[in-house]
Structure 1
Amino acid sequence: MPVSSHYTPDSRHEQLGPAFYDAVEAAPFPDLRLRFRNQHWAERIGLGALDETEWLAHFGRFEPLPDNLATPLALRYHGHQFQTYNPELGDGRGFLFAQLRDERNRLLDLGTKGSGRTPWSRGADGRLTLKGGVREVLATEMLEALGCYTSKSLSLIETGEDLLRHDEPSPTRSSVLVRLSHSHVRIGTFQRLERLGQRDELRRLVDYCIETYWPEAADEPDPVAGLLRCVVRATADMTAEWWVAGFVHGVLNTDNVVITGESFDYGPWRFLPHLDPYFTAAYFDHMRLYAFGRQPGVMVWNLEQLARSLAPLSQAAKLQGRVGAFETRFDEAVVTRTLTRLGLQTPEPWSEARALVGHFYEAMEASHIPFQRPFFDLVGGAAPERLEASPEASTYRSAHWSGVIDELRACDPLPGVATVGEAAYWQSPEPMAMRVDEVEAIWKAIADDDNWEPFTDAIDAMRMMARAHRDLGVAWR
């Protein structure tokens, strides 16, 4: 097999022991058609030289990678679903397929979605619709382009089955997705062990997470509290990234929150059409529990559940204090990431920067301007020529924006703003937005005519945006 010299397998998760997973087999699929291959990330993990036959063998039939997991592992966990505890969870249509390291020596997981039934399928078919796979690819590409720390869609293969679903026209086409993630250890992984009274296994998991993901926690007098501090900080950063991206995850259950602060598992996600704190992504979220503006509060609630799960190994009051740091970290991250995305240095004093960002979002909400538009038009400090060329020129002349634009122009630009005049993305007529109507149009072309051109065009456009943001200085975690 033509893996590169920097292919570095490291199947550490199985060392936790059988209390944490079940060995499973992938479903046999009647057909395999490669629909998406993330060559950039394949090269970063040493798999870029695979030809299509080898790719299908490993990511469609799940033949083991060299010196990696011999058998896929369906991971065990519990979780709160819409804040109601469910002990019947676990990997029901996916598994951990392999673990390996990237060029930064980070341990990364290859996990699946739609790979067949497991002991945790609860009567479901263990499959993924092709539309669901397409949507996940679009979500990860868009979030990565916006500088968010997200799982990566590595592979999407159509599998030749007809699936019945109650929430979309059926029968519908099937697929299997392979995602690349920093971790699949969820808040719900800890909850399960605490609920079952498995204190030794809970300690083993904590030690594993500190050694593998958060070694700095070991330097604290109480490493358990140190681990929680790291998770709180990373989760606050992730939630702030969603705010600045205008992203609504849709299903923020505790089994969908991993301890590395990495966004993953995309179902009914949406990007905001305009700033609306009550915008809800999931049609079944009748109480708007996971609305855009409630995401920070929900993540605090989820972190409190993690603190409760860790309490047998630490002190409850100390752990709760670590969760209390979320709000400050979130606010700081929103301010700095908003200004960076606008190509501006953070002004001093801090109170001035915080006020400016507050005024910016107030203007966005009051004017109902398309969410991605101001980050596109005002990049570098609201140059008059960009504003006048925008279809929202009259909006920027309104009372909502006049004072904000003056404040932005008073800020010093980042050095990367010099690229705005050269990069193709900033010269485009429209910013990438990936709203639901765009996603549905991409899927319609596939469903009606098997036309993948709008899909590949969208991927190309998002990667052009990613390059522009990198040149601007948007930091990637």
Structure 2
Amino acid sequence: MTSPEGRGRRLREGETELTSNPPILTIADTLAVPVKPADFPQTVLRFRNDRAAAEVGLDGLSDENWTRHLGRFDPLPDNLPEPLALAYHGHQFRSYNPEIGDGRGFLFAQLRDRRGRLMDLGTKGSGQTPFSRTGDGRLTLKGGVREVLATELLEALGVPTSRSLSLIETGESLVRGDEPSPTRSSVLVRLSHSHIRFGSFQRLMAMDDEEGMQALLSYSCEHLVTEAGAEDPPGFLLAVTKRMAVQVAGMMAAGFVHGVLNTDNMNVTGECFDYGPWRFLTTLDPQFTAAYFDHTGLYAFGRQPEAFYWNLAALAHALSLIGEEKALQEALATFPDHYADAFAAAVLRRLGIEEREPQEDHKLASDLFIFLHRTGLPFERAFFDLFGGRAGADKRSRSPHAELYGAEDVVVRIDERSPLRPERLTHPVFADEPQTLLLEEVESIWDAIAERDDWKPFENKIAAIRRYGEALSPEAA
């Protein structure tokens, strides 16, 4: 059921109503500029996420209309008449940059999902905008494939993330300095709850635009961050802080390294997005970095919570344009406690066992990471082996690393917890191997596409990841 303000006429081929008056239009003059999509030589559909599309009524589109709307960007009925490139600033590796914005993407449409939430369709690789500077506004096909894979596994592991809705090959040859060129091109469409970044607020602070800041805050509180008490700047920051704690805790429990945690790569709804040089850990290494250009390890795996806290401080500073600074700092100061709670919850969720007292849960999660670091166990394999605690003991005994668990204190404490929905362990996935996306496999999937135009390994991996997610899900099917 869509909310009243989201009612519009249905897509003829879909089931869910479209947003007839996209809310972003109320602040578009403050936040965005209209743009035209690129005119691509071809549009070859490579991936369509009907599971995500069903939530916003787009799953009924024929491939032809899917490509027309999500590759040629013909407007959806009763929606944005033209795409909007959003303007924002940001700290990039903690250096402030006022010359950024949507340089190769735009907001294409706003829809309501089944819960009535406002959802954005944002693009990557859709052409040049006034914010492109020297960029060509395009996305490599490899970059698009990598983002689809990342979002699928993160979703399966329970991490709040944007979802890759569509990937279309566009027929251009792109030159890039960090990969073999020329290379194939693509356009990606993301489905997420928000296109509003921390950098959107930073831009208005830099412009000393109190009226614009209040308008952006009001929009965000009405449509995105709707928790009780979030209507003023400190309440909004507190709500965003809680969401960001959950997001980074999920990333840590998944062994995921984003690589580029700049303030323009964080949105206020707490969804991981904009995947560039991401990596999943092979083994737990706090100093591991995903970006080859992160020479100081600023966004190393173990420093990701620190990066979130720093970026929240930048958001707090921006909100001080219209909010009381002491109250904002008090809201910001809650991050460590919220993160500790969220990290413990994320780890226990991944283990499939019950929660207990917070202090006990915190210690169990911390001790498990110490154990993984000390033993060098493969990261995902360890969670797979330990999933279900004592209910999964047979599974663990078949592991090639069974001898490392032995009588380890932290393993004993895991086994003392009651498993949640132990029937999950009957899923065929647990008779197989854990799903990972390590660099070698990602490169192998891409090589099949680049060398033979063979999409089968990619499709098989998506199917396997989704089965894994079904097996791990704490919700009954």
Question: How many Å separate the matches in 2 of 1:102 and 1:244?
Answer: 27
What does 1:29-68 align with in structure 2 at a 5 Å threshold? Answer: 29-68=40-79
2:387 pairs with 1:375: no
Question: How many Å separate the matches in 2 of 1:164 and 1:323?
Answer: 42
Equivalent residue for 2:373?
365
2:463 pairs with 1:460: yes
Question: How many Å separate the matches in 2 of 1:384 and 1:440?
Answer: 34
SS of the equivalent of 1:216 reads coil
2:281 pairs with 1:272: yes
Question: How many Å separate the matches in 1 of 2:312 and 2:396?
Answer: 41
RMSD over equivalenced CA pairs, Å: 1.4
Query: Could you tell me which of 77, 82, 85 is aligned with 2:93?
Result: 82
- State the shift of 1:7 in Å: 2.5
Equivalent residue for 2:14?
4
Question: How many Å separate the matches in 2 of 1:388 and 1:6?
Answer: 47
Contact 2:108 2:121 in 1 (8 A): yes
Question: How many Å separate the matches in 1 of 2:202 and 2:411?
Answer: 47
Structure 2: 5+ residue runs without aligned partners?
Answer: 1-10
Equivalent residue for 1:327?
336
2:362 pairs with 1:351: no
Equivalent residue for 1:116?
127
Code of the residue aligned with 1:213 in structure 2: it is L
Contact 2:320 2:328 in 1 (8 A): yes
Contact 1:242 1:248 in 2 (8 A): yes
Segment drifting more, 41-50 vs 58-67: 41-50
Equivalent residue for 2:428?
424
Equivalent residue for 1:193?
204
What does 1:206-221 align with in structure 2 at a 5 Å threshold? Answer: 206-217=217-228, 219=229
Runs of 4+ in 1 over 3 A off after TM superposition: 472-475
Question: How many Å separate the matches in 2 of 1:357 and 1:170?
Answer: 44
2:409 pairs with 1:403: yes
2:138 pairs with 1:127: yes
Equivalent residue for 1:342?
351
Equivalent residue for 2:310?
301
- State the shift of 1:39 in Å: 0.7
- State the shift of 1:216 in Å: 3.1
Equivalent residue for 2:6?
none
Contact 1:343 1:473 in 2 (8 A): no
Query: Could you tell me which of 376, 388, 401 is aligned with 1:392?
Result: 401
Code of the residue aligned with 1:435 in structure 2: it is L
Code of the residue aligned with 1:296 in structure 2: it is P
Equivalent residue for 2:5?
none
Question: How many Å separate the matches in 1 of 2:93 and 2:476?
Answer: 33
Structure 1: 5+ residue runs without aligned partners?
Answer: none
Equivalent residue for 2:156?
145
Code of the residue aligned with 1:292 in structure 2: it is F
Equivalent residue for 2:4?
none
What is the CA deviation profile of residues 290-313 of structure 1, one whole-angstrom value per residue up to 9, with x for unaligned ones? Answer: 000101011111000100001021
Code of the residue aligned with 1:457 in structure 2: it is N
- State the shift of 1:162 in Å: 0.3
Alpha-carbon spacing, 1:235–1:335, altered in 2? closer, same or farther (3 Å):
same
Contact 1:381 1:411 in 2 (8 A): yes
Question: How many Å separate the matches in 2 of 1:353 and 1:85?
Answer: 38
Code of the residue aligned with 2:63 in structure 1: it is E
2:244 pairs with 1:235: yes
What is the CA deviation profile of residues 148-181 of structure 1, one whole-angstrom value per residue up to 9, with x for unaligned ones? Answer: 1110100000000000000000000000000001
Alpha-carbon spacing, 1:117–1:144, altered in 2? closer, same or farther (3 Å):
same
Question: How many Å separate the matches in 2 of 1:358 and 1:474?
Answer: 28
2:459 pairs with 1:449: no
Query: Could you tell me which of 265, 280, 285 is aligned with 2:294?
Result: 285
Code of the residue aligned with 2:443 in structure 1: it is E
Question: How many Å separate the matches in 2 of 1:368 and 1:139?
Answer: 23
The size of the alignment, in residue pairs, is 465
Equivalent residue for 1:246?
255
SS of the equivalent of 2:120 reads strand
Contact 1:340 1:473 in 2 (8 A): no
Code of the residue aligned with 2:417 in structure 1: it is C
Q: With structure 2 as the length reference, what TM-score do the two structures score?
A: 0.95
Code of the residue aligned with 1:418 in structure 2: it is E
Query: Could you tell me which of 440, 461, 464 is aligned with 1:437?
Result: 440
